């Protein structure tokens, strides 16, 4: 079964009552086994990332902040009521 054929039923979980639903939330409702959920999640996340590469766009700013503040800085995404770190820039002392 193709990726799109497996992913199309997930569209049923998208509606105007939950405009902010994320990929992880959608997969909570999916009836796929764990390996399939993870594989589809990674494929769909890559598609989502293509038009707006969050890490690529934010990385130079976060690296500059880490050096200026002399602190480790994360890049995080909001998902429901929680934050998920997607990149961490370690402060490198000179």
pLDDT at 16 over 60: yes
Give the pLDDT of residue 60.
92
**Residue 3 confidence class, pLDDT cut points 50, 70, 90:** low
- The matching CATH number, chosen from 1.10.10, 1.10.260, 1.10.3210, 2.60.40, for 1-51 is 1.10.10
- Compare 4 and 1 and report the one with higher pLDDT: 4
Domains of the chain, by residue range, sit at 1-51, 53-94
Taking only the tens place, the pLDDT of each residue in 28-42 is 777 777 787 778 777
pTM of the predicted model over 0.75: no
Q: Contact 66/89 with Cβ under 8 angstroms?
A: yes
Cα separation, 8 vs 27, in Å, equals 12
Taking only the tens place, the pLDDT of each residue in 31-86 is 777 787 778 777 777 777 778 788 888 899 999 999 999 999 988 887 667 777 88
Cα separation, 33 vs 72, in Å, equals 36
**Residue 92 confidence class, pLDDT cut points 50, 70, 90:** confident
């Amino acid at each position: 079964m193709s990726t799109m054929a497996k992913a199309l039923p997930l569209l049923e979980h998208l509606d105007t009552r939950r405009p902010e639903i994320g990929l992880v939330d959608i997969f909570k409702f999916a009836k796929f086994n764990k390996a399939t959920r993870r594989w589809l999640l990674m494929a769909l996340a890559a598609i989502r990332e293509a038009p707006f590469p969050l890490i690529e766009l934010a990385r130079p700013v976060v690296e500059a902040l880490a050096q200026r503040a002399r602190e480790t800085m994360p890049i995080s995404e909001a998902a429901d009521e929680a934050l998920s770190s997607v990149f961490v820039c370690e402060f490198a002392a000179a």
